[in-house]
A and B are shown apart, each in its own frame.
Chain A
């Protein structure tokens, strides 16, 4: 079965750290960029970071730069998110998602188009004293 399963969330005090994991199965993991996306309780979605197939390129939203680190281990079909210096506003359900790109519009020449075609169920991070 094609799936992503996140783990590692929990209750942590402000300033603390956590390491989130996402295990992939059922597809050629090493061929895909992967992302972390979070959703604060009752709120919308926020893309957090992504990582290239071989880990050589990473990108982050400004609000987490310097505090969060995305990584991957293709031998374990997994990505990770090391989150440090946690703040109350980092409280959220953290999803991992599979990035897809490559579609082009033959008429306009636009592309490649990026999108998330597979999501996990998420792991909850709660930052509170």
Chain B
């Protein structure tokens, strides 16, 4: 199975900060990488699919990049409503696997 490793596991930042979360795959997954946001007590929501395509309705301060084995999620200006856990997911091959998550606090 392809393993996904996220870093950091948690971070604390200030409103307005630029954040970067990294996700690494154990083998080449091309651009088959998605990002989800899970707010406390809620179900996950899709932010980005295919590495860099923003899901409809997602604020433009979120962006994704990368390819192969290394990917990043960037929040250009952190907002209070961005407090959440963020998960990457690869869908290059089954079983589809997720990173362990990054908890973002303010």
Asked if B97 CB lies within 8 Å of chain A CBs, one says yes
- In chain A, positions 16-47 with a C-beta closer than 8 Å to chain B are 43-47
Interface size on B, as a range, is 20 to 34
Q: B31 is contacted by which of A105, A117, A122 (Cβ under 8 Å)?
A: A105
Known: A115-B46, A120-B43. A44 touches B99 (CB 8 A): yes
Main DSSP-derived SS at the B contact region: loop
Given the complex, which residues of B lie within 8 Å of A120, measured CB to CB?
A: 43
Interface size on A, as a range, is 20 to 34
Known: A44-B98, A44-B99, A59-B94. A119 touches B50 (CB 8 A): no
A114 B32 Cβ-Cβ under 8 A: yes
Asked if B44 CB lies within 8 Å of chain A CBs, one says yes
Given the complex, which residues of A lie within 8 Å of B44, measured CB to CB?
A: 45, 95, 116, 119
A122 to B41, CA, bound (A): 11
Main DSSP-derived SS at the A contact region: strand
A14 to B91, CA, bound (A): 32
Q: B96 is contacted by which of A47, A105, A110, A117 (Cβ under 8 Å)?
A: A47
Asked if A75 CB lies within 8 Å of chain B CBs, one says no
Contacts from A to B (Cβ < 8 Å): 43-47, 59-62, 95, 100, 103, 105, 108, 110-111, 113-117, 119-122
A22 to B100, CA, bound (A): 25
A108 B31 Cβ-Cβ under 8 A: yes
Q: Nearest 8 pairs between A and B by C-beta?
A: A114-B91, A115-B49, A119-B43, A113-B50, A45-B98, A61-B95, A47-B96, A115-B34
A103 B32 Cβ-Cβ under 8 A: no
A47 to B94, CA, bound (A): 9
Q: Give chain A nearest CB distance to B78 CB in angstroms.
A: 22
